[in-house]
Each structure stands twice: as structure tokens, then as C-alpha cells.
Amino acid sequence: MLHGQALLVYANRRQPGEEKTLHAHPEGQIWAVRQGLVTAQLGRDSWVLPPGHIGWIPPGTLHTATVHRAASGWTAYLRQDLCRGLPARPAAFVMTPLADALLDRIAGWGTAVPELGKPQKRLLGVLIDELIASPVESLYLSMPKHARLLKMAQTIAAAPDDKRTLAQWAAQIGMSERGLTRHFSAETGMSLVQWRSIARMKRALELLSDGNSVTNTAIELGYDSISTFIALFRRTFGVTPSRHASA
């Protein structure tokens, strides 16, 4: 994609429903979303990027992306040697005002940059430092590798309204509650309760961006209380579902 160049960066606009087929490239990719909503499937894992967030895809990572609402922002491809310091796994970050300004400045270098001069390398280094220092969002949904845990996680992701308890899931997949909890946390980095909450919030963003009402979204996700859904959404994303839907 870079054809020997160091950096490819451009402002982009994507239309709802636009998808990329599953692919990988030797460059690292930074995807910054100013407006709209983008979700990405990264092998078994996935992340969701609402406005004001930046996604990072390391070199060689299989991925596909879907636009759920007209999206605008920046995409940057970095040669492998320029990716040092960024995470080895995909991640989602808050787009701080400094990161926003830096991306705007870097986009002004032109679409393709054959080689970076010292001032450009310093500026890119500041951007990477800012990403690493910014809050890492729990918008990245990592799938467990254990076959029974993976099947459970895939079921929950496909039907976030599933209300089976930890005890019920443990009995269903033939594990003890303690074993399920320990292995699931070790393989995903979060508890089953946290993971299911993120899966629901990810689906909530998709439903709202596709035009569903707050009430219907809460019901489809299995919430008995609309106010509980609104409070959790606001705690996760900093805005209410209705504000996100109207943005």
C-alpha cells in the first residue's frame, strides 16, 4: 500500500453501509473518527469507534470495517519501523484535542510522504506518545481462545439480550463457575459481566446509528429498565443514547 513510502495519510468520508472485505497489510493503520460510527472485525475480535475515538490496527492484522453512519476523520498508514511504541494488539483510544490537532497537521503534509524529515518524525513521535498516554477505551472486544468459552462468547455477542447467569453458563459449557471466571478473565482481560456489558454497548451504538429508538434498543439488548440502559450508556460514552443518536 505504501510502495516504499514512509507514511500515507488522508482525510476521509465514508457512507453508511460501506464495508471493506477481510484483508491485512504490512503497514500499521490509525483510524480516527470525528463523526459517524465505524466498527471493525479483527479476526475473532472486534472494536467499535464512535465519534472522538481513534482505532489502532497493527501491521499484518486481518480486519474488515463497516460504516454504520456517514463517517469522517483521518486514516493514516505507517511503515512498520514507524509503528514502534504503539501496542502490539489492536486498541481504541480517546481522541484528545492534541491528537486531533496533530492528525490535522500531519494530514497537511500531503497524501503520501516518501520519507520523514527530523521535524516530521518528532511530530509523529508526539502523536504516538499522546495516543499511548490517552485513555484506552473498553471498546475492543477480545474473544477467548478456549473452544467452549469462545462458543459462549460468540453466542452472547450474537444475542446480547441473553440473560443467562454465570452459574447457568458454567453448567451449559461444562465448567465450574470458578474455572469459567478464571479462564475467561485470563483470555479476554475482563470479567464475563464486563465483557457482556461491552458487547451490549457495542451493539447499542450500531442499533442507534442505524436509526433505532432508545427504547427499542434497550429492549433488544435485554434491559428491563430503560433508565438503567441510559445510565450505563452515558457512563461508557459520556453522552446519553439520544444525544449520540442525534449527533
| 73, 31 Cβ separation under 8 angstroms | yes
Over residues 99-140, the pLDDT tens digits come to 999 988 888 887 677 888 899 899 999 999 999 888 766 678
Over residues 60-100, the pLDDT tens digits come to 999 988 887 778 888 889 999 999 889 888 888 888 999 99
Q: How many residues does the chain have?
A: 247
pLDDT value for 18 = 64
What pTM did the predictor assign? Answer: 0.76
* Domains of the chain and CATH, by start: 7-133 (2.60.120.280), 143-246 (1.10.10.60)
Q: What whole-number distance in Å separates Cα of residue 105 and Cα of residue 107?
A: 5
